Each structure stands twice: as C-alpha cells, then as structure tokens.
Amino acid sequence: MTDVTLDTVATATPPARRDIGLKRRYAAERRFRLYGVLAILVGLAFLVVMLLSILTKGYTSFWQTTVSLPINFEEKVIDPDNKRATDPSVLVTANYPALAQKALAEKLGIDPKNKPMMTRLKGFLSDGSRVQLRDVVVSDPAVIGTTRNVNILAGANLDSAFKGQIDLTVPEERRKVSDQQVEWMNKLKADGAMAEHFNTGLFTFGASSRPETSGLGVAIIGSFYMMVIVLLLALPIGVAASIYLEEFAKKSRFTDLIEVNINNLAAVPSIVFGLLGLAVFVNFLGMPRSASFVGGLVLTLMTLPTIIIATRAALAAVPPSIRSAALGLGASKMQMVFQHILPLAAPGILTGTIIGLARALGETAPLLLIGMVAFVANYPATPFDPATALPVQIYMWANEAERAFVERMSGAIIILLVFLMAMNITAIVLRRRFERRW
C-alpha cells in the first residue's frame, strides 16, 4: 500500500483526489477485515488451548486403576460370634480393609504377620475397599467363608503413578509413592492383577474425601431435578407472560416499564438471583438449604427473562397476515393466538427454552449462596433432599488439595461441556427442522 501525503492530495486534480480517497477507503476496509480475522484467530487459539488443557488433564479420569485380589471372606473377621442371623448390622461394621490388605500381602508374597511390611502396604489400596467388600457381603451373605476375586480400587497416589501422572525419576522423598510401592505396582502389572478399567464410579459415586471414590452421581441427579423444575415452571410462566405482552397488552407506560425491566433482568449477574433466593426461599419461607427444589426455583427466576425475550421474538416473527386471516375467518383472538400463532412460533420458543436451560445448567454462583456446597454422599430421593449440581461439584473439587482431584475436576468439566453442547446442538437442529421462512 502506497503512502499518500496531504500535499499530494491538495495538489492533485479532482479525479486524482477521488482515486486517492477510494484507495484510502479500500485500504481501511482491508485493515478492518484483517483485524477481524486476527480477532477470530486469537479467540479460537484461546479456545483450543482451554479445551486441550481440559482434555489432557481430564480424559484419564474415565479410567480407574484396580487390583484384582482373591478375597477370603473369613468368618472370624466378619462375624466371629455368628450373630448375623439376629443382628445383620455386624455385616456392616466388620473390618473389611483387613481382608483386602491380607489378600494383597499374599498376592505379593508378604507374610501378613510381618508388621513393618504391612505398614508399607498402607495406602496402596483405597480405603473405599471397606464399602466395596461390605456391599458384596450385605448383598449375598453366603460369600462368608468363601474366596472370590474382587477388583479393589487402588489408592489415589498409586492410581496417578500407574497412569504416568507422577514423575518416578525424581528422588523418593519428593514424591508420595515410595520405591517399594513402585516395585509392587510393576510386579502386579506384570502379573495382570493391576490394570485400568472404565471408571463407572465417576458417574455413580457421591461425595467423598478420597479422590478414587468420588463421583458425580449426586450432582447428576441434583442437576436433573433442577432442570425438570425449571422446565415445569419457567416454560409455562414465560410463554404466558410473552403471549400477554405481545398479543393482548395495550401499549402503555406500564407495559413499556415491564419490557425494560425484563430486558434488564436478562443482563443481571446470576449471583443476584442467588441472593434473592437466599433471602426469599431460604430465610423468609424457610425452605431447606442445599435442596434441588430451591435451586430449581432460583434458576427459574434467572431463566424466565431469557424465555420471555425469545418467545416474544418468535411471536413477533409470525407475519401479521396470519393474524388477519384467522380473525377474518371468524376466529376469536384467543383462538387466533393458540391455534395459529403459537404453533407457528413453537420452534423459536423451543430454541429459547433449551438455550435458557443450558445456561441454567452451567450456573454456579446462585447455587453456592443457597447452600448447595454441602458434602452429600447419598443419592437424593426427592427434590427436597440435600443435593449438589455439576458446576458446584466442579467448584468443590477445584478447592481440594489432593492432586488427584484435579483429574476428577477436569473429567467433570468434560461431562458438563458434553451436556451443554448436546443441548445447544439440539436447539439448532430443532430450529432448522421446524423453522419456517416467511
């Protein structure tokens, strides 16, 4: 591009000045396009870096290291006084980790009476073995006195070492896995007793202080309850409000004020809705904290403006000729709206609803304020039971000190992104499938 001075423009003939002006405008347009392309490339670069960081840290969370051990369900350990017929609770309180520890020692050729070696074995297996073996016995007490192969979860540090997430070349005192444990790990791996399996616990386990036994089961159920509540409340209320404002309400200062406030509410930070929910639903109405029902009510308030705006836009997009034709054929205004306008606006309403639900699914701040950060290990049976949500569980794992929780956190982000992408893709497909061009 040739630089042109002001003196050149001043001394040039009128046609020449016109050409110089055109060249400047074309050059400015090319620069603007270049800036736009650069902005898009920078945004895509940050997006790619973020996704790669999440994927590289989180894909391993979908596999869990286990140790296959022949567990001898000794009666003298589980029920030494033979009380299980009259007192089934003895099956719950037995010392199951001792059975797993003994089976591991025998697998490695260690004498269970050698206390120093048994001490070194601590941490090799997860403390979740208590729950694993307890569930086996409680579901089938006939296993007492028999030997069965059980895949016991490895400890969090051994799981990270087996996946190659711990640098084993650094000095022993600078890592949480000892050289002896590494030697045992390699021996079990060579024997085929230690391997990775698909981590179903990531989707079924509840909250736990141990990374290897932590999962999203409670969070998934809590998020499902909340989305159902939002759908049942926000959709009918939002559509009804939109129909009234767009089709029945007369233009006045009052309706203008309502429209302005609806648009403003759509831009209000979500934490403000959390404060409102805390003040009204929890403190004033006395609803239970950390319950999915309260979370659903808060997210309903946050989603309503989005649904109202999308629904009004869909209703306004229906040509006026449809209204005139329906009224001309003798339909009442109510019939015109519900039998002609609303069916034609349904694709836009559906799209706005799905987008609103997707936004609500990813919210964290309002749920933190109503107490959904509780440590919940049991599945919520109803929406009124304590629960948590996917984004809140991610937040809680991000604050844990154990490095293995970083893997769980990244895996949970991947799952949440998959849900959000599925909802947005569904909205796009449905809109293209049912949309009409006027």
The CATH number of residue 422's host domain is 1.10.3720.10
78, containing H or E segment: helix 75-78
Burial tier of 288 (Cβ tally within 10 Å: 0-12, 13-18, 19+): middle
| Position 44 in a domain | no
Q: Do 74 and 103 sit in the same domain of this protein? A: yes
Computed from CA positions of residues 272, 284, 306, 250, in that sequence, does the dihedral angle turn out positive or negative?
negative
Residue 26 lies in a domain: no
Structure tokens at 107: 């697998």
Check whether residue 187 and residue 222 sit in a common domain: no
- Are 237 and 382 in a shared domain? yes
pLDDT at 60: 92
Q: How are the residues of the chain apportioned to helix, strand and coil, as percentages rounded to the nearest 5?
A: 65, 5, 25
CA 245/CA 315 separation, integer angstroms:
10
359 with 390, same domain: the answer is: yes
Co-location of 161 and 266 in the same domain: no
Is 246 in contact with 345 (CB distance < 8 Å)? Answer: no
Residues 313 and 348: their CA atoms lie apart, in Å, by 8
Given the structure tokens 């767009």, which residue do they identify? 246
Q: How far apart (Å, rounded) are the C-alpha atoms in residues 301 and 277?
A: 9
Does any domain span residue 391?
A: yes
Indicate if 261 and 408 belong to the same structural domain: yes
The residue type of 200 is T
Which residues does 130 contact at the CB level (< 8 Å), separation at least 6? Answer: 96, 97
What's the confidence (pLDDT) of residue 1?
Answer: 44
Q: Is 415 inside any structural domain?
A: yes
Measure the CA–CA gap between 313 and 309, rounded to whole angstroms.
6
Same domain, 253 and 392: yes
Which of 170, 199, 228 terminates a domain? The answer is 199
Residues 254 and 192 in one domain: no
Are 163 and 65 in a shared domain? yes
pTM summary value: 0.86
180 located within any domain: yes
Q: What is the pLDDT of residue 89?
A: 84
The closest alpha carbon to 405, from 203, 130, 208, 182, belongs to 208
Determine the pLDDT at residue 402.
81
Question: 194 with 225, same domain?
Answer: no
Q: How do 147-153 and 63-72 pair as beta strands?
A: antiparallel
Residue 208 lies in a domain: no
Q: What local confidence, expressed as pLDDT, does residue 121 receive? A: 87
pLDDT at 13: 57
Q: Can you give the residue range of the structural domain that contains 128?
A: 61-199
Phi-psi region of 164 (alpha: psi -120 to 50; beta: other; left: phi over 0): left
Residue 375 and residue 334 in one domain: yes
Question: What integer pLDDT is reported at residue 82 of this predicted model?
Answer: 84
In single-letter form, the type of residue at position 241 comes to A
Tokens standing for 272? Answer: 């403000």
Residues of the chain with pLDDT under 70: 1-18, 436-438
Pairing of strands 147-153, 194-198: unpaired
Alpha carbon separation from 182 to 143, 187, 264, 422 (Å, rounded) = 32, 9, 59, 41
Identify the pLDDT of residue 176: 87
- Tokens 């950060």 locate to 373
HSE, side-chain direction, 13 A CA sphere, residue 74 = 12
Residues contacting residue 158 through CB under 8 Å, at least 6 positions apart: 65, 123, 124, 177, 181, 185
**Does a structural domain hold residue 73?**
yes
In this structure, the answer to whether residues 264 and 126 fall within a common structural domain is no
Beta strands in 154-270 (DSSP E): 194-198
Those residues whose C-beta lies under 8 Å from the C-beta of residue 392, and which sit 6 or more positions away, are 219, 364, 367, 368, 372, 373
Q: Do 71 and 100 meet the contact criterion of CB atoms below 8 Å apart?
A: yes
Cα 153 from chain centre: 24
In a domain, 183, yes or no: yes
Domains in the chain, number: 2
Which residue, 199, 231, 252, sits at the end of a domain?
199
